[in-house]
């Protein structure tokens, strides 16, 4: 269904618009009621004045006859009691007996309770608005009694203009009130949003500020703060558990390797040496799996942001090129590094280096038919993009999400050593930095893309999320 009115997408803007409309509608409704009430009051007063004039003259007629009525008309016209009376008395033959009108208005019937016209009085230089009541006497004469209501109409006009001005003034006042309400709500919500952003960036000590009003926002903030206290405690416990596991699990495996190496040194039998070599390789694999699994768990928990430092990506990629260049050549590939412009970014150097190293090693293992692995960094809008690409066989689009799962290994990789945690660690590292990790088609080959958000607007330095 199409929207009848366009409203901004912002919830606060829509709230402000609704408040303006509601306040202006309420104000306009009140002013309209005041206008109707004032019109009704003025009309009632005008009718009362005309009725009083008519009833007084008819009383004179009933009491003393037509001569007394004529005398009363002349007296009322000469000495008006309130406002300007308008009176006309016609004889049965239609001639004027008394009054300050020249003739009977043709639009007024012989008997009329109330009507308004614009007419000339005798000796008047301009027409005037008048209200009338017409009566027929016993002898067939006709009496027209009325009052000049020009001043009342002017008063009503002034009143309408004042109400219209009040309505126009109500619009900016309503807008200011709504904007103030919207700003107040926006400030409270912004404080909660800043807390959520700080928590997401790893600052678990951040809390929602409370103003002590105990309103809905205060209660929500207090509830969020209690939740954050619990989360901070759980993360700290997880930090201690992972640190303990890192030590407790690595120590037995390290001792096992030490015993294997000792046995390897004491054995001369070729078959035994081959067995010990396989056992040592499996121990190395187990140790790498434990280390990688712990690194993923710590990264997913946001542990490690305190080790962010500003790193020049050009130097980092050159170091990686020197480290992995020989092994890449042994795999039959060439390794190219590209950083078009100097880029400095705050990151966890060890984790990013390991993530890029994992991607280079994967390309060496699985980019069958390829010849080149490219390692590059560039700035793209509000992000820094790290890319490892190859020109091998690639991964079908429908299998790329599966490849990112923990312990997931695609069919071509099942016969090679590994635990299926390399890409999962890359994805966790990207999330630790507030970024994303995706696998894309390189046409030909695979392109692994780590996109890290730029939190600053000036220069090339990206501050840490904390």
The pLDDT tens digits along the chain (466 residues) read: 444 444 456 777 787 788 888 888 888 888 889 889 988 988 898 889 999 999 999 999 999 899 999 999 999 888 887 788 999 999 998 899 999 998 999 888 888 888 989 999 887 889 999 999 999 999 899 999 999 988 888 888 888 888 888 888 888 888 888 888 888 888 888 888 888 887 776 677 788 888 888 888 888 888 888 888 888 788 777 767 766 666 666 677 677 777 777 777 777 777 777 777 777 776 676 666 666 666 666 666 666 677 788 888 888 898 888 888 888 888 888 888 888 788 888 888 888 888 898 899 888 888 888 889 999 998 887 889 999 999 888 888 888 777 777 656 665 544 455 556 778 888 888 888 888 899 988 888 899 999 998 865 444 444 444 4
The whole-model pTM stands at 0.49
Would you list the DSSP string of 122-177? TT-SS-EEEEEEEEE-TTS-EEEEEEE-HHHHHHHHHHHHHHHHHHHHHHHHHHHH
Q: Which CATH number fits domain 306-462: 3.40.50.720, 3.90.10.10, 3.40.50.1820, 3.30.565.10?
A: 3.30.565.10
Residue with tokens 């300007």: 84
Whether a cis peptide bond, with omega within 30° of 0, leads into 332 is no
- Please, are residues 375 and 387 in contact by the beta-carbon 8 Å criterion? yes
Which residue(s) pair with 129 in the sheet? 118
Query: Would you list the domain boundaries of the chain?
Result: 11-154, 216-299, 306-462
CATH number of 216-299: 1.10.287
Quick one: DSSP state of residue 97?
Answer: E
pLDDT 10s digits, 187-225: 888 888 888 887 776 677 788 888 888 888 888 888 888
| 11-154 shares its CATH topology with 216-299 | no
Specify the 3-state DSSP secondary structure of 401: helix
Does domain 11-154 correspond to CATH entry 1.10.150? no
- Please, are residues 466 and 308 in contact by the beta-carbon 8 Å criterion? yes
């Amino acid at each position: 269904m199409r929207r009848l009115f366009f409203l901004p997408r912002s919830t606060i803007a829509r709230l402000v618009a609704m408040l303006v409309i509601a306040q202006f509608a309420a104000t306009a409704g009140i002013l309209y009621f005041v206008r109707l009430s004032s019109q009704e009051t003025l009309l009632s007063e005008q009718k009362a004045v005309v009725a009083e004039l008519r009833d007084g003259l008819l009383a004179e007629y009933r009491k003393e006859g037509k001569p007394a009525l004529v005398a009363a008309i002349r007296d009322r016209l000469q000495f008006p009691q309130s406002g300007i009376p308008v009176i006309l008395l016609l004889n049965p033959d239609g001639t004027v007996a008394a009054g300050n009108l020249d003739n009977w208005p043709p639009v007024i019937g012989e008997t009329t309770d109330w009507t308004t016209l614009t007419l000339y009085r005798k000796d008047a230089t301009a027409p005037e608005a008048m209200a009338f009541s017409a009566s027929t006497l016993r002898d067939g004469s006709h009496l027209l009694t009325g009052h000049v209501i020009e001043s009342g109409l002017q008063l009503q006009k002034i009143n309408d203009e004042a109400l219209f001005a009040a309505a126009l003034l109500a619009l900016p006042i309503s807008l200011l009130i709504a904007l103030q309400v919207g700003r107040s709500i926006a400030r409270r919500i912004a404080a909660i949003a800043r807390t959520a952003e700080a928590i997401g960036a790893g600052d678990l000590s951040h809390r929602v500020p409370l103003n002590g009003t105990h309103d809905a926002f205060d209660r929500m903030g207090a509830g969020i703060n209690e939740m954050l206290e619990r989360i901070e405690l759980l993360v700290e416990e997880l930090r201690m558990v992972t640190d303990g596991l890192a030590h407790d699990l690595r120590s037995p495996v390290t001792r096992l390797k030490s015993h294997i190496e000792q046995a390897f040194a004491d054995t001369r039998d070729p078959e035994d040496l081959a067995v010990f070599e396989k056992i040592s390789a499996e121990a190395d694999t187990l140790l790498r799996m434990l280390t990688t699994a712990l690194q993923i768990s710590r990264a997913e928990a946001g542990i490690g942001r305190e080790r962010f430092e500003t790193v020049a990506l050009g130097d980092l990629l050159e170091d990686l090129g020197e480290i992995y260049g020989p092994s890449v050549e042994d795999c039959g590939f060439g390794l190219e590094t590209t950083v078009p412009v100097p880029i400095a970014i705050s990151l966890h150097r060890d984790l990013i280096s390991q993530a890029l190293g994992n991607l280079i090693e994967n390309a060496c293992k699985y980019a069958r038919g390829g010849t080149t692995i490219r390692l590059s960094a560039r700035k793209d809008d509000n992000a820094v993009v790290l890319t490892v690409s190859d020109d091998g066989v690639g991964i079908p689009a429908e299998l790329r999400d599966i490849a990112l799962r923990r312990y997931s290994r695609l069919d071509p990789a099942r016969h090679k050593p590994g635990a299926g945690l390399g890409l999962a660690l890359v994805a966790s590292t990207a999330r630790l930095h507030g970024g994303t990790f995706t696998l894309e088609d390189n046409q030909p080959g695979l392109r692994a893309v780590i996109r890290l958000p730029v939190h600053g607007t000036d220069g090339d330095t990206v501050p840490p999320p904390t």
